[in-house]
Amino acid sequence: MISLKSPREIEAMRQSGQIIAGMHHMLRDLIKPGLDTWEIETKSREYIESHGGVPLQIGFEGFKYATTISINNEVAHGLPRKGLKLKNGDLVKVDTVVGLNGAVSDSAWSYVAGEASPEVKELMAVAKKSMYLGIDQAVVGNRIGDIGNAIEQYTEVEHHYGDVRQYIGHGVGPTMHEEPQVPHYGKPGHGVRLREGMVITIEPMINMGGWEVDTDSTEEDGWTVSTHDGSWSAQYEHTLAITKDGPKILTSQDPEFDAKYL
């Protein structure tokens, strides 16, 4: 069942989302070559909790950490690992979910430790823009397929990257994962129709190579998913509300850049 949120509930989710946004601002300065990935976990958890939030990934289906930290060819669900030091040029994706007085928000971002190669810069730029192209389609009366098609056309048809199929966006609140499912590929005019009050995530995972992922990689730690062909992957994710005035980003890190979505 899809739950529709009131303006009061959406505002509460925005306040939750601003804790995540602040955490990501902190990570911009923290992530650098030589950093132990465990410090990303501990500093992120400290930030969330010191601002009154609850790191909701802890305990979800047995997960033990506030963040997932996926590096280079790891697509999603990577574990924080003590003793794993970042190297110059590593592509790091950090994802978290925060609760604040019962309001839930979810956001992931990509970072580079040190200097990014031109190829990684391009991958990150395409992945980030594809998220915003999807957000632009998140308007009342459109369908879920309009979101996915915009992302698929930009990433695969225009840029020949792999647009991951196995992991998708979703509704948010009152729990972490709600209906509707929000694939990042699809046919325009197909799928669930978007209604005022829906709150969803759009979180494309874009690979330099093919879109296939290797779920066998989860056998080692039960969680980490990597690209099938070993190519590197980038991800960006916002939580947003569908309103009569267009999509409103609830996890914005940049009020100037996101002005039309606030």
Cα 100 from chain centroid (whole Å): 18
Sheet of strand 213-214: strand arrangement: 74-76, 225-227, 213-214
The percent of residues above 70 in pLDDT, for the chain, comes to 98
CA separation, residue 42 to residues 36, 48, 251, 256 (Å): 10, 10, 21, 29
* Residue 177 is labelled as binding a ligand: yes
pLDDT at 215: 74
* Residue 170 is labelled as binding a ligand: yes
33 belongs to a structural domain: yes
Q: Which domain holds residue 79?
A: 7-261
* Residue 95 is labelled as binding a ligand: yes
CA separation, residue 190 to residues 143, 153, 169 (Å): 6, 15, 16
Measured CA to CA, the distance from residue 59 to residue 76 in angstroms comes to: 17
With cut-offs at 50, 70 and 90, classify the pLDDT of residue 222.
confident
1 belongs to a structural domain: no
With cut-offs at 50, 70 and 90, classify the pLDDT of residue 67.
very high
Tens of pLDDT along 5-29?
999 999 999 999 999 999 999 999 9
Alpha helices in 6-87 (DSSP H): 7-30, 37-50
64 belongs to a structural domain: yes
124 belongs to a structural domain: yes
Which residues is 6 bridged to in the sheet? none
Tens of pLDDT along 102-126?
999 999 999 999 999 999 999 999 9
Number of domains in the chain: 1
148 belongs to a structural domain: yes
pLDDT at 47: 98
2 belongs to a structural domain: no
Reported residue count of the chain is 262
Q: What is the pTM of this model?
A: 0.96
Kindly tell me if the per-residue pLDDT of 218 is higher than 90: no
Q: What is the mean pLDDT of the chain?
A: 96
Which CATH number belongs to the domain containing residue 168 in this structure? 3.90.230.10
* Residue 190 is labelled as binding a ligand: no
**Residue whose tokens read 């909790």:** 49
Kindly tell me if the per-residue pLDDT of 221 is higher than 80: no
**Residue 167 structure tokens:** 């992991």
192 belongs to a structural domain: yes
